[in-house]
Amino acid sequence: MRKVTVLPKSKVAKREKIINLLLGSSVIILFLIGWELLFQCKLVNPLFISSPSRVVFAEIAIIKDGTLLKHFLVSAKEFGFGYLAAIIFGFPFGIMLGWFKLLKASFGPFIAALQATPRIALMPLFIIWFGLGITAKIVVVLLSAIFPLIVNLQVAMSTIDPDLVHVARAYGAGRWQIFRSIALPTSLPFLITGLRLAAGRGLLGVIVAEVFGGSEGIGYMIEYAGSTFQTDKVFAGVLVVAVIGISLDVSLDRLGRHFDRWRSDTAVH
């Protein structure tokens, strides 16, 4: 019975998915064609806008001569360390803030204030403290990525079903057992959401920090290309950042779906 009712639904969903994909990609293609035409017909100064084909050539060029790889590795290192540190500190801290009410009362306002401060505005300070090397960038990534994690995990703890805790207590569960068997599984979807938001913020942080100061990384590459009027190379750099951002988001989304199979709206059997 169940399968009979589910199948047509998924078919409809599939068709809808294909239509949406077609619509979405046709707008992008139209945009690229228009852009190329604008360039080819010389309607705007080519120096300002470059063109899709020139961006592709620039992309190939920076891949071939190894500039992209060199800068990519630096940015990846900065992002990786910062992101990891954000998880290592943010995960337990967010959980504890949600779990212990006193902790939330004490640290809540401080965190809200920190969160409202634009981290990148502190970049000059970080440069004074940590220099122009990768440490200052790691700190920026850490500070950009940690708050979505803290906030999401804190919210996760408040969504714990009290009935489940009641049952666990009735079966003699201690605080640690309640935490492990109920709080942690509850927090998982929130952790994934937090990780996705953190990835976006962290990526933004690393690029802006590199644009701000330094001598390596994709942000620096973009900034340098811009100041030397290599617009095609600017776009080539931006494209790389966009691809990284999208693939991070998609893979985290996949991971989330994997852990979300028990939910009624995503589970398909």
148 and 201 Cβ atoms separated by less than 8 Å: yes
Task: Report 243-262 residues binding other proteins (CB under 8 A).
Answer: 261-262
| Binding flag, residue 176, other proteins (CB under 8 A) | no
Instruction: Tell me whether residue 9 or residue 15 sits nearer to other proteins (CB atom).
Output: 9
DSSP-derived secondary structure letter, 77 = H
Instruction: Tell me whether residue 1 or residue 28 sits nearer to other proteins (CB atom).
Output: 1
- The sign of the torsion formed by the CA atoms of 111, 114, 119, 124 equals negative
Instruction: Tell me whether residue 150 or residue 160 sits nearer to other proteins (CB atom).
Output: 160
| Binding flag, residue 66, other proteins (CB under 8 A) | no
Q: Could you tell me which residues come within 8 angstroms of residue 95 by beta carbon, excluding any fewer than 6 positions away? A: 153, 154, 156, 157, 183, 187
- The sign of the torsion formed by the CA atoms of 218, 136, 203, 31 equals negative
| Binding flag, residue 172, other proteins (CB under 8 A) | yes
| Binding flag, residue 169, other proteins (CB under 8 A) | yes
Instruction: Tell me whether residue 110 or residue 176 sits nearer to other proteins (CB atom).
Output: 176
Pick one of 37, 88, 250, 267: the residue that binds other proteins (CB under 8 A): 267
Cα–Cα distance, 76 to 83 (Å, whole number) = 10
Instruction: Tell me whether residue 66 or residue 265 sits nearer to other proteins (CB atom).
Output: 265
Structure tokens at 238: 């931006």
DSSP-derived secondary structure letter, 42 = T
| Binding flag, residue 9, other proteins (CB under 8 A) | no
Minimum distance of other proteins from residue 257's CB (angstroms): 14
Point out which span in 10-18, 91-99, 161-169, 220-228 binds other proteins (CB under 8 A): 161-169
CA angle 75/79/81 to nearest 5° reads 120
Pick one of 16, 34, 108, 161: the residue that binds other proteins (CB under 8 A): 161
121 and 179 Cβ atoms separated by less than 8 Å: no
Minimum distance of other proteins from residue 269's CB (angstroms): 7
110 and 150 Cβ atoms separated by less than 8 Å: no
| Binding flag, residue 13, other proteins (CB under 8 A) | no
| Binding flag, residue 167, other proteins (CB under 8 A) | yes
- One-letter amino acid for residue 213 of the chain: G
Residues forming contacts to other proteins in the complex (CB under 8 A) are: 2, 161, 163-164, 166-173, 177, 181-182, 185, 188, 261-264, 267, 269
